[in-house]
Homo-oligomer: A and B are copies of this chain.
């Protein structure tokens, strides 16, 4: 197993919202955006692991403001941390209105992907090295988000997790 720098997994995808992507209000459909988020995250996870990867989970995504037909969607993905066979990927979505030049944050999503062999069985992945302050913060928080996922799935209890105790009892979300 090698160690990869987090920045090596950085992936950018730019899309234009076309009629085919919109709902009856002329806005980008939430499901279409999730489709793009899933693909860009898969590419980042492949860069990190040099393996075929499959989506294991997608954390809560909020859709705050509509994205209109003709607007540009920028999706940036980067692997935050690798565990044994899984990786957490952060996807940051912005929109740009190229007539006004205005750029607007849209969503931040965290996805977990698992690397698999040809039979679809999980296999160990390269570790991720965080370098910048921001990457270190994402790396550290990845553990808390992971335990939160396990807790929400009913697979661990708060007592099992120092991370969750800090999150919930002190409320330092």
Listed in ascending order, the chain A residues whose CB lies under 8 Å from chain B are 11-16, 18-20, 22-25, 27, 29-32, 34-40, 42-43, 46-47, 50-52, 54-63, 66, 69-70, 72, 98-101, 116, 120, 149, 151-154, 157-159, 164, 168-169, 171, 173
Contact = CB atoms under 8 A, between A and B. Distances in A.
Contacts of A13: 12-15
5 contacts: A24-B69, A31-B55, A34-B35, A57-B61, A57-B62
Contacts of A52: 24-25, 70, 99
* Number of copies of this kind of chain in the complex: 6
**Taking each of A38, A51, A116, which has the highest tally of chain B beta carbons within 10 Å of its own beta carbon?**
A38
Q: Main SS of the interface on chain A?
A: mixed
A132 to B, nearest CB: 20
The 9 closest A-B pairs by CB, nearest first: A31-B38, A30-B55, A31-B35, A24-B70, A46-B98, A34-B34, A168-B168, A20-B20, A57-B62
A25 B54 contact: yes
A22 B25 contact: no
A68 to B, nearest CB: 9
B18 A23 contact: yes
